[in-house]
Amino acid sequence: MKYLNLQQFWEQLRKNRFFTFLSLFGISIPVMVIMIMVLKVEMSIKPSGPEKNNDEMLFIQQVKINGKDGTEAWGGVPLNIIENHFRPLAAPNSLAFSSTGSATFFKNNRARDLSLRYTNADFWKVFDFRFLHGHAFNEKDVEEQHNVAVVSGSLARKLFGKKDALGTTMDVNGEVYRITGVVEDVSSLSRNTYAQIWLPYTRRNNSPVNADYSHTGAYGVTFRSTETWTGEQIQQQVRQVNERLNNLNGDQELIFAGPAPAAEIYFRGYRDPEAYGGLWMSYLGMAGKALLILFLPALNLVSINMTRIQERSQEIAIRKAFGATRKNLALQVMTENILLTFLGGVMGLIMAYAVATGFKEQVFTAWFINNPSEVSLQLNYGVFFILIGVSLIFSVLSGLIPAMRISRLQPAYVMKGGVL
């Protein structure tokens, strides 16, 4: 570190404005692109809000049915599987399931689409919602199909302004619901919980619960592990359920895409569980993409750095004359470059946030995000680790060659006016 002279570093940035601009621009743009990618993934697999404890959760969002005639059908989990097979397994307060829908809602003669979610009662115990007012609907409400609803804070404000929303009623798809609770808004990246209105799942038009397991359904299921019901046990028991169902089904094959952790669900998408190579492959894939994005800008920075190094030949020769080793000089050049890339990196991160905030509709496009404008941006410390990693890789890519060039230095030749 002592080979880095901060005053000199700033002086040089200030003096060579054009180079500084080129370097910072060249660093911050690719970093921005990568950070947007990272933000999207990070906020999806580790969302804040009700799903913040998702490392204790396992999800099944889809089932796949392979017909004997070679047909494939993807869909949600059918209610009969949940009712007949998952419920009996689950520890208390550990099984949440929900299904999404939409409602059209009129205000001032303008139609507005609302995101709905039909949930069971334990949904509110599995996830960590923050209630601003009131409370969730309970087991009895669900069983008796009460017309009760939980709404998001911003929807409550839109509907009722400053008035207390609790106890008031609203019209959803032609039925009148009483509001029991208002929760803090949920980001639309929280794919297992996001909605603007939450209703008892029994209010949904469900197909009858029977013993035919050859169809897909509409529900996403979340298991929350406990000390006595661990993730491994959950996965094992669900596998047994799967086998049992396939025995019942006979000629159709039913595959649960889970129960899997949030990250796996995110990366796998609509791929067969068997076709998916695992989390490490996904992370490697992302790292590969990032390297590809960094590669050309890094080359560019190499050439900028080379020019700068040559301009500094004299300085480097002088340092050498007074006892700097090759290692000292390489270290100096590397630390300067690391600092520069970090500056550019932080700029890139800020730009990524700005772009992600300003262009939500364009940035947050993914098959599971139905309402990109309702994504709320969060800052995870993981993002900073990744930023540090990306900047470090960038600075090594772009600084190593110039640093090595220094070892070719002949002080006497340079002092007479030659260059490296």
Partner 1 sequence: MIELENISKLYRTKTIETLALDSINLKIQKGEFLSVMGPSGCGKSTLLNVMGLLDNPTGGRLFLDGTPINGKSDKSLAMMRNHKLGFVFQNFHLIPSLNVLDNVELPLLYRNMPAKKRKMRAQEVLEQVGLKHRSGHFPSELSGGQCQRVAVARAIAGKPELLLADEPTGNLDSKMGEEVMLLLRSLNSELGTTIVMVTHDRSLSSQTGRIVHLFDGRQVN
For position 323 contacting partner 1 by CB under 8 A, the verdict is: yes
Provide, rounded to whole angstroms, the least separation between the CB of residue 328 and partner 1.
Answer: 6
- Out of 388, 404, 412, 419, the only residue in the binding site for partner 1 (CB under 8 A) is 412
Residue written as token pair 């002092």: 415
Residues 82, 114, 179, 324: which binds partner 1 (CB under 8 A)? 324
Burial track 346-360 (b if 16+ CB lie within 10 A, e otherwise): bbbbebbbebbeeeb
**Cβ proximity of 189 and 364 under 8 Å:** yes
Three-state SS string over 97-132 comes to EEEEEEEEEEECCEEEEEEEEEECCCHHHHCCCCEE
Q: Which two tokens stand for residue 244?
A: 């049992």
What residues form DSSP beta bridges with 133?
Answer: 182
Segment interacting with partner 1, rule: CB under 8 A, options 190-198, 253-261, 316-324, 369-377? 316-324
Q: Is 66:194 a contact under the CB 8 Å cutoff?
A: no
If one asks whether residue 419 binds partner 1 (CB under 8 A), the answer comes out as no
Stretch that binds partner 1, among 264-272, 343-351, 383-391, 408-416 (CB under 8 A): 408-416
Span interacting with partner 1, options 27-35, 84-92, 365-373, 403-411, rule CB under 8 A: 403-411
Decide whether 110 or 416 has the Cβ nearer to partner 1: 416
- Rule CB under 8 A: is residue 320 a binding residue for partner 1? yes
CA 108 to chain centre: 36
With vertex at residue 218, the alpha carbon angle to CA 215 and CA 222, rounded to the nearest 5 degrees, is: 110
String of contacts with partner 1 for each residue 3-22, x by CB under 8 A: x-x-xx--xx--x-------
Binding segment (CB under 8 A) for partner 1, from list 57-65, 240-248, 323-331, 387-395: 323-331
Closest CA to 118 of 16, 15, 193: 193
Applying CB under 8 A, among 327, 379, 382, 419 the residue interacting with partner 1 is: 327
Please report, as ranges, the residues that interact with partner 1 according to CB under 8 A.
2-3, 5, 7-8, 11-12, 15, 314-315, 318-328, 407, 410-413, 415-416
